[in-house]
Structure 1
Amino acid sequence: MYQTIMLKKDGRLAYLVLNRPDSMNAMNAKMMGELAHCFESLKNDSSVQVLIIYGAGRAFSAGGDIKEMVDPKNPMNIDVVMGDVSRLAKALYTLPQITISAIHGASAGLAFSMALACDHVVAEESSKLAMNFIGIGLIPDGGGHFFLKERVGVPRAKQLIWAGQVLKAHDALAKGLIEEVTAEGRGLEQAEKYAYEVLASPVSSMLKSKEILHGQKLAELDEVLAGEASGQSAMRKTADHIEGIQAFVEKRKPAFKGE
């Protein structure tokens, strides 16, 4: 059914696998659309109570597919893409399942926004976590502003966005961004351990609390997603973004001018 992701079910537990391992699961337009569709379909699936999200191969996900951004033969339609990004973020946040992200390798940009949207984040100690849109002159999307603020508050969220630094798992844990750090190669195993603990709990009670706590934030999330969509479209047209992309492709330090 899907080309860039896989959805596997095992009783009340489901696994969503980001499945572009040759590209470190970089999120192209196809994957963003498929993720949005998958999350929306899970909203109506009462048979699943826990969802684990992880990446195939060497990484959770390197974030947005920069190669596709600069492909002259098939340019990315930013407005369509941002529509799918907003859909996937809202659907993920409102899922009637306990969501767990199991991170190994890189989790950057949109992928980090998606991980932070989950109810429980497990990261292997060697993983690299980055809200690094600033490096190519962009702003967080996928609800990145909202999910960072929810976890660490506005002042810290701004600093993390503006710095765009790569965090090790223990740093992210200390900052309150994730729930657990585990040994290299044990991320999925640890996520499953937590999933089975949840499944042995009164899950309906847990899900009702999630619904109440998240429900009061939906209007704010909608506002953030609209701001990110229009803001990202505007940032894509800036000289700094063009310079950031060129510098990335040419593997050099960008020379930003604030334009």
Structure 2
Amino acid sequence: MYETIQFEKQGRIGHVVLNRPNSMNAMNAKMMKELADCFESLHNEHSLHVVKIYGEGRAFSAGGDIKEMMDPNNPMDIELVMKDVSRLAKALYTLPQITVAVIHGASAGLGFSMALACDHVIAEENSKLAMNFIGIGLVPDGGGHFFMKERVGVPKAKEIIWAGQTLKAHDALAKGLIEEVTAEGRAMEQADAYANEALASPVLSRLASKNILHTLKLDELDKVLEMEAAAQSAMRKTTDHLEGIQAFVGKRKPEFTGR
């Protein structure tokens, strides 16, 4: 059914697997659309109470696919892509299931925005977490501003977004960005334990509380997604973005000029 992701049901647990392992699950336009479609379809899966989201291979997700952004023969349609990114973020945030991001390796850029949108984030201790859009002259998308602010507040969100640093899992935990850190290779085991504990609880009560708290914030999320899409389109046209991309590809330090 999907080319870049997998979805399966096991009892009351759904599994959404990012499945471009050769690209460290970098999100191309196809994956963004498929994730949006998948999350929207899960709104009708009333028999599922928990959804786990994780990556195949060496990483959760390295973020947006820079190679596709740079491809002159098949340029990324940024307007269309931002629509799918916004659909993805809104559908994920409003899922009528408890969502668990299970992180190993890298969770960067849009991959990190998506993890932060989940109800519970578990990361292995050596994983690398980065809201690193600023390194290529872009702004967080996929609701990154909203989810970051929800977790740490505006001053800290600005600090983290502006720094664009790569955080180890314990640093992210200390900043309040994630809920749990496990030893290497143990995140899935911990996610299973968390899911089973949730399923053994009055899970409908949990989901009703999630619905109340998240519904209150929907207008704000819609506004953020609209503003992110406009800002991202504008940033893509800047000299600094082009310099950031070229420096990234050339593995050199960028020289930004504020243009």
Counterpart of 1:235, as a letter, is M
Shift of 1:188: 1.1
4+ aligned runs moved over 4 Å, structure 1: none
Counterpart of 1:18, as a letter, is L
Aligned to 1:153: 153
Aligned to 1:234: 234
Shift of 1:54: 0.3
Measure, in 2, the Cα distance between the counterparts of 1:34 and 1:170: 31
The answer to whether structure 1 residue 16 and structure 2 residue 16 are counterparts is: yes
Normalising by the residue count of structure 2, what TM-score does the alignment of the two structures yield?
1.00
Shift of 1:241: 0.1
Aligned to 1:36: 36
Counterpart of 1:205, as a letter, is S
- Tell me the alpha carbon deviations over residues 188-230 of structure 1, each in whole angstroms, 9 at most, x when there is no partner: 1111110010010111000000000000000000000000000
Shift of 1:20: 0.2
Aligned to 1:252: 252
Shift of 1:8: 1.1
Measure, in 2, the Cα distance between the counterparts of 1:142 and 1:24: 19
Aligned to 2:221: 221
Measure, in 1, the Cα distance between the counterparts of 2:217 and 2:145: 13
Shift of 1:82: 0.2
Percent of residue pairs identical: 76
Measure, in 2, the Cα distance between the counterparts of 1:14 and 1:86: 22
Shift of 1:44: 1.1
Measure, in 2, the Cα distance between the counterparts of 1:215 and 1:87: 16
SS at match of 1:99: strand
- Tell me the alpha carbon deviations over residues 28-62 of structure 1, each in whole angstroms, 9 at most, x when there is no partner: 00000000000000011101110000000000000
Aligned to 2:194: 194
Measure, in 1, the Cα distance between the counterparts of 2:50 and 2:32: 21
Counterpart of 2:206, as a letter, is M
- Tell me the alpha carbon deviations over residues 134-182 of structure 1, each in whole angstroms, 9 at most, x when there is no partner: 0000000000000000000000000000000000000000000000000
SS at match of 1:15: strand
- The gaps in structure 1 that reach 5 residues or longer are none
Counterpart of 2:76, as a letter, is M
The answer to whether structure 1 residue 108 and structure 2 residue 108 are counterparts is: yes
Aligned to 1:130: 130
Measure, in 1, the Cα distance between the counterparts of 2:71 and 2:200: 48
Aligned to 2:47: 47
Q: What RMSD over aligned residues (CA atoms) do the two structures have, in Å?
A: 0.4
